[in-house]
Chain A
């Protein structure tokens, strides 16, 4: 598409919501300016010394942490005069529960997932809301009655109850403060939720705000929001039906809730700010298989369009028969340049989950983890991103060793399949020693943990690992170039290619350009390239399926994402298990970024988005089902008028009709990005999609800024 400079058209700025936005406009700008940070304190409650003094076990320490931090927050409730949905974290950090030496002793010879605490999963928010914390407390008490001679289970339940009481006390402190301020409605609400089942949509939102924030306060992160339009709908439906809420009033409440999710983002750990996994899923089907799109699905998209902030990150489940008017509304959100909604195709995802042991009703209930991996809320203690297999490294090693020893193409392929298997084995072996610390509060929010008296850390119904096959387009293009030029038309001598790779193409520019421009490329619906892509993913799936047990009673799910690996696998990263690759046979020089997720190689000549979809539709998604989106950059000028927006909606429907799995559409203008790099002060609010998440461009590290810019050089 053409690049044009210029702001979005007036139509793009049209407000889709119907409420009077004055109050929330002010709230939004306060949050963006960080005014609420004045309430933050560096004083952190001391938990460690009492834990050591009392000689507490790990589960008891985890519960004590929740207790102390809720208690401390309860001493400083923050209720601003125009807040209707309250709670703000004031304590910046999560206090330690072990001395560093003790921590290293306890975790010696064990693999921790990323930072350690359980992350990147999704609670069963619907269950917790409908039971209320009191209901959960009763479930724990009931389980306790039937247990004898099982101190671990008893301890777990006691810990869970301790955290429930801590959260109830926190809500009570806020209620008292509300009462003191004369905010009786708010006080009544907080006296009722999250203890009991919410009586209305407003109470459900307030309950969720607290329940969700406390998960973060315990040191967990990438705390997903699940199928929001499903579990919230009964509350909203009842209010709309009874006339208690107008649509406009409901939108306003929802907008306030969405804004509240942006308040604590500076406290979230992540590779880059914005990488916080507050993913929210919309649409799809009910557990019984009926179309589950409802008024709240539409409302959430309209409200996200209004709030125009990086959280929550909207996902939309669609089918090949998706309603074009819903997709058009969703495209209006894409047009905002937030990098979402991200789409997933139920027609592809659900059958694949079922084929891999998920019960049909559960599969129909899928949401996504922080970025894109499919998981079942409340039922999955899945570690969906334990690492990556570097597809480019596997292909490159196969090419260099194979050509060096005069092997034929088939032998090179065998090497690649074996390399993929070994890389996978290495990642999975490391995770056989995975240790997940106890998580009593998070367990309260999960399906059956209290009922079975088992901590979430011991697993849930689904306990798989996910591994991504990263940089696939580069890998395929390299292999396709070798097949075409070395083995088919024999226009390139093996030794010449090896020397060129070794020299990082210095002195081999004509050869490099031939490889980069004339070879078959993924993304052009080119049978030669796409067949090799299918092979590569089949080898990857073979390797994953060969692992019978991941050590936690689960299997290994192959995926198609890259996350930060498009940078790390190309440039290296301290402590990374995955191999770094040098110059590669698709004409890529050492250090140049790999393609992100499923996207053509950055410099590949591509006809356009339809061919890209046709290419990636050929991936065997029944076997490669961890997730990882086709990633497309659209220039902002694409969305010039309503007709064009409608065509983008058709493109999204085409994605589903062709049988692709997941799609991420990003919008931005190259000129804007270049200017933002030069004049960050002028682009404070510029949001870009980075991998599975969106962040403020000016808050990204320079290498990530450069990659986003590089992607847009090839925007369609």
Chain B
């Protein structure tokens, strides 16, 4: 039986898919996005977090049976409320076999898989058969910029997206809006061009930048050094998507930065 490393299980996760659902955050991620607000999801192994109230071990091993049993305790409730389970991270593709085993043991639950797409095609194909809906991040289309701000190549991410679409999967494209980085008209247009003709596209979610992004770094002995100006005004512009009749939503914004986009 497979086991996996989980850094958080959060019930009643309101923004991780339809209905009442529980999110499982899997530890380990190949990317190092400059705006990441979950740095405890980076490395696979459990690690110590130094909080104000003392040290705490982050990351717990579960067998697929243990995790599925825990989630199944609420299966009736999740089903009755149009919800289910969301696998997030970190990057859950890194633990694709574990997730697949957990899914096999779940009691008829709707499954969302929240991924950066940065994993092997094999991993993606493995989970695609188990998942009802993908949340798929697209950050930057320009490969140089992508490498600079996330530390990873986007070629695999873009090809995996085509694979996913060819498999007939449904997916929501999620775009974190980072001031001066991903919120540019140029980038948003490129994302719209990339996704507009993909048959499995449900919609695009624009996720306005959260200024609390750096909150957890110091507790992990890390420094939050964004490669962009956090104070810069964010552009929240849905127009490039609307132009192509791509359904688009703006997720609940941080009020501090909610300003109208100049026409």
Contact = CB atoms under 8 A, between A and B. Distances in A.
Interface of A: 1-7, 9, 509, 513, 517, 525, 603, 607-611, 614, 637-638, 640-641, 643-644, 647, 650-651, 653-654, 657-658, 716
Contacts of A610: 11-12, 20, 22, 74, 77
A223 to B, nearest CB: 37
Interface of B: 9-12, 14-15, 19-20, 22, 53-54, 56, 73-74, 77, 80-82, 210, 212, 251-252, 254-256
A657 B15 contact: no
Nearest to B18: A643
A2 B212 contact: yes
Given A608-B11, A608-B12, A614-B74, A650 B252 contact: no
A6 B256 CA distance: 6
B11 A657 contact: no
Contacts of B14: 1, 638, 640, 643-644, 647
14 contacts: A5-B255, A5-B256, A9-B255, A525-B74, A608-B10, A608-B12, A608-B22, A610-B74, A614-B77, A647-B14, A650-B19, A654-B77, A657-B77, A716-B12
Contacts of B210: 2, 4
Of A4, A509, A603, most B-chain CB atoms within 10 Å: A4
Nearest to A527: B73
B212 A647 contact: no
Nearest to A609: B12
Contacts of B20: 610, 647, 650-651, 654
Contacts, number: 77
Of B14, B19, B77, B254, most A-chain CB atoms within 10 Å: B14
Contacts of A650: 19-20, 81-82
A637 B82 CA distance: 21
Contacts of A716: 11-12
Nearest to B23: A608
Given A610-B74, A716-B11, 19 more contacts: A2-B212, A4-B212, A4-B255, A5-B255, A5-B256, A7-B255, A9-B252, A608-B11, A614-B73, A637-B252, A640-B252, A641-B252, A644-B14, A647-B81, A650-B82, A651-B12, A653-B81, A654-B80, A658-B77
A7 to B, nearest CB: 6
Contacts of B256: 5-6
A603 B10 CA distance: 17
Contacts of A4: 210, 212, 254-255
A4 B11 CA distance: 18
A607 B11 contact: yes
A654 B15 contact: no
Contact of A609 (B11, B53, B54, B254): B11
Contacts of A607: 9-11, 22
Contacts of B77: 610, 614, 654, 657-658
Given A6-B254, A654-B81, A644 B11 contact: no
B30 to A, nearest CB: 25
Closest 5 CB pairs of A and B: A608-B11, A6-B255, A640-B252, A650-B81, A610-B11
Given A6-B255, A6-B256, A644-B252, A513 B54 contact: yes
B236 to A, nearest CB: 14
Contacts of B10: 607-608
Contacts of A3: 212
Contacts of A6: 254-256
A658 B256 CA distance: 39
Contacts of B56: 517
A5 B210 CA distance: 10
A657 B14 CA distance: 20
A577 to B, nearest CB: 34
Contacts of B19: 647, 650
A657 B76 CA distance: 11
Contacts of B74: 525, 610-611, 614
Contacts of B53: 603
A643 B20 CA distance: 11
